[in-house]
Structure 1
Amino acid sequence: MPRQPLLTFTDRGICCPEGDFHIDPWRPVPRALITHGHSDHARPGHGAYLATEGSAPVIRYRLGDIRLGTIAYGERRRIGGVTVSFHPAGHVPGSAQIRVERAGEVWVVSGDYKVAGDGLSEPFEPVACHCFISECTFGLPVFRWKPQAELAADLNRWWAANAAEGRVSIVGAYALGKAQRLMASADPSIGPILTHGAVEATTAVLRAQGLALPATTHVTPGIDGKTHPGALVIAPPSALGTAWAHRIGPAAEAFASGWMALRGVRRRRGLAQGFVMSDHADWEGLNTAIRATGAERIFVTHGYTAIFRRWLEDQGYEAGIVATEYEGESLDAAEAEPGPLIEAGGEEEAGAVQGGDAPG
């Protein structure tokens, strides 16, 4: 009799029956293998967790007292009837693709990934496989990212111009990933760097792991544009346009996101400035990563799934869509919560573009 597929797709998440585990499940399961610490992939309620050594501290910070084991990149571990290993995804520090092997058959679950280096995350590592489960958050040709050095130059030029006009510069960015990329890109000679509490707390976790980042000051009562003139302020997107932002003083606001590649999105959000920055692969990155795996069979998850599947089929791949509850990179203004999930009860990143729908 034919053996069951190495991985199956269930209402709880991607399941490996022979290993008796799920990968990034969105409903409680006995054993979960986690690709990274963003809240749509690392959720509460599982019996036991396994993640990379680099992502474990953020997961513990968010989820509290959980049964969390760790694994090094490239370490092979036998679980039930399969062998698993974790490999760098380049998405955020500690993020991983998960390789699952059975009798020479190899599947890889990408989680979220990007192939361009950002100077902070471990560089993406192509993993040869027969079947690749790939995100496609930005699976349209319009999405093409600038090199990190050009992004840094754009950021610092905008910041310096605002400082010269007596304004602070507030940039909305996810607390895990883009916020730290902005810090690393900022030129501290222009002015001080201030942070929202959600950003500061997550950054403290990464600093404790040895991530080298410039000095920042947490925005607390009494810290504003008067005490720190010309500052760059990094905050969750949900803070833009709020009383918290207004209290800082006269400011220019911007949003760092891959969606800023769409001028209509920036216009609808009322932003004069948007930075096209993403921790997900762009169009070329997706295609480069998929080709590098050598896989003949591709499943795509969250993003422009229907369009990207048709593209892959036109390129000769056997392609399918996996319905998931992963959220990718959101345009919603509720991407960050003020502290650990167990205390705040919120989601760090919410909202999604699913199945080719236009972003809101």
Structure 2
Amino acid sequence: MTRDPVLRFTDQGIYCPAGDFYIDPWRPVARAAITHGHSDHARAGHGSYLATHAALPVMRHRLGQINAHGLAYGEVQRIGGANLSFHPAGHVPGSAQIRIEVGGEVWVVSGDYKLEEDGLSEPFSPIPCHAFITECTFGLPVFRWPAQAKTAAEIATWWARNAAEGRVSLLGAYGLGKAQRIMSMLAAQGLPGPLFTHGAAEATTRILRDQGYPLPPTTLVSRAPPPPDALVIAPPSALGSAWAAKLGPRSEAFASGWMALRGIRRRRNLGTGFIISDHADWDGLNSAIRATGAEKIFANHGYTAPFQRWLASQGYDAGIVATEWQGETAEPDKEITPE
């Protein structure tokens, strides 16, 4: 008799028949296991939520009053006939891969992840498995990230130059994860001026700081006007907006993996862009997949078709999973984490 696969791909989300729960579902379901707090993965309307303890404060801030339970990394929860556990994904603070074991067979859903240790997020930990469901937002060889320290130095130089010219530095970065990563990596090498934040970035920064994540002091823009030597971190949608105009003379930049493509920078009329992403680059994706030892790989959101072909050429049993997860968008005005 053929038994059910560990996970099924449905129009509501990735479903575990043995445990009767979904992983990061995009339609309302009774039981949802959530990889992290970004709005394309943690959506409203589910009957109950299961996530890491570290992810829950941001989820509650964004989703309101929810029926939620937290697990520590590596803690195993028996749900029906399935064993579930969360393991660090390195994407943003509190993010996780989800390991599901049924009858000795192990499948892992990566959620979003990156391999470079950023000094803030819990570092990615490869999980041996039979099947690995991986994101591939940046699943082309053109996407290879510079070292974080190099990008931090570039941002600091741009910031100092703007300050010398009497212009506020306005940097577009997603409000959960990247904004705090930028604060942390700049603080590690010495801040050339004060940090200010848009309300969207400040809300999640305070939550993470209260959880014990080491973040430098910040000032909310609405409470005090930023001086010319300030760096203001705001959602990408704030770039070029009426809100930004109130800052006075300024220089704007966007921090994203998409800045590796000069065509996008030109199309968006962005004079300055910094290449930094909380998703794995081409080398990171391939390294992560090899480290799992999985023979069956499913690619989701991103360059799924070319990445699937590449994996098949490398000897993997590779497929594509259609999801409604968005990943990091190329357009600053279409961010996935609105506040």
Q: TM-score, normalised by structure 1?
A: 0.92
Residue deviations 1:47-89, cap 9 Å, x none? 0000001101000110011000000100111100111111000
| Other structure's SS at 1:98 match | strand
CA distance in 2, matches of 1:224, 1:249: 10
Seen in structure 2, the aligned counterparts of structure 1 residues 142 and 349 have a Cα distance that, compared at 3 Å, is: farther
Q: Give the deviation of 1:151 after TM superposition.
A: 1.1
Q: Which residue of 1 aligns with 2:219?
A: 217
Q: Retained in 1: the 8 A contact 2:33–2:49?
A: yes
CA distance in 1, matches of 2:334, 2:125: 28
Q: Which residue of 2 aligns with 1:106?
A: 106
Give the gaps of 5 or more residues in structure 1: 337-346, 351-360
Q: Give the deviation of 1:185 after TM superposition.
A: 2.4
Pair 1:309-2:298 in alignment: no
Seen in structure 2, the aligned counterparts of structure 1 residues 111 and 238 have a Cα distance that, compared at 3 Å, is: same
Q: Give the deviation of 1:327 after TM superposition.
A: 0.3
Q: Retained in 1: the 8 A contact 2:136–2:302?
A: yes
Seen in structure 2, the aligned counterparts of structure 1 residues 189 and 325 have a Cα distance that, compared at 3 Å, is: closer
Residue deviations 1:167-211, cap 9 Å, x none? 111000000011001111225542111100000011111011011
Residue deviations 1:318-341, cap 9 Å, x none? 0000000000001233456xxxxx
Q: Count how many residue pairs are aligned between Structure 1 and Structure 2.
A: 337
Residue deviations 1:285-308, cap 9 Å, x none? 000000000000000000000000
Q: Which residue of 1 aligns with 2:272?
A: 273
Note the aligned Cα RMSD (angstroms): 1.3
Residue deviations 1:98-154, cap 9 Å, x none? 000011100000000001101000000000000000000000001011111111111
Question: Where do residues 1-360 of structure 1 align in structure 2 (5 Å cutoff)?
Answer: 1-187=1-187, 189-220=191-222, 223-225=224-226, 228-335=227-334, 348=337
Residue deviations 1:186-238, cap 9 Å, x none? 255421111000000111110110111111110116x334xx22110100000
CA distance in 1, matches of 2:136, 2:338: 17
CA distance in 2, matches of 1:200, 1:335: 19
Q: Which residue of 2 aligns with 1:342?
A: none
CA distance in 2, matches of 1:41, 1:224: 34
Seen in structure 2, the aligned counterparts of structure 1 residues 174 and 189 have a Cα distance that, compared at 3 Å, is: closer
Moved more, 186-195 or 310-319: 186-195
2:111 maps to amino acid: G
Give the gaps of 5 or more residues in structure 2: none
Q: Give the deviation of 1:267 after TM superposition.
A: 0.9
* Aligned structure 1 segments of 4 or more residues deviating by more than 6 angstroms: none
Seen in structure 2, the aligned counterparts of structure 1 residues 232 and 265 have a Cα distance that, compared at 3 Å, is: same
Residue deviations 1:21-51, cap 9 Å, x none? 0000000000000000000000000000000
CA distance in 2, matches of 1:174, 1:250: 23
Q: Give the deviation of 1:272 after TM superposition.
A: 1.2
| Other structure's SS at 2:57 match | helix
Q: Give the deviation of 1:163 after TM superposition.
A: 0.5
Q: Retained in 1: the 8 A contact 2:119–2:185?
A: no
CA distance in 2, matches of 1:328, 1:32: 19
CA distance in 1, matches of 2:326, 2:27: 14
| Other structure's SS at 1:11 match | coil
CA distance in 1, matches of 2:305, 2:55: 31
2:337 maps to amino acid: E
Q: TM-score, normalised by structure 2?
A: 0.97
CA distance in 2, matches of 1:348, 1:189: 26
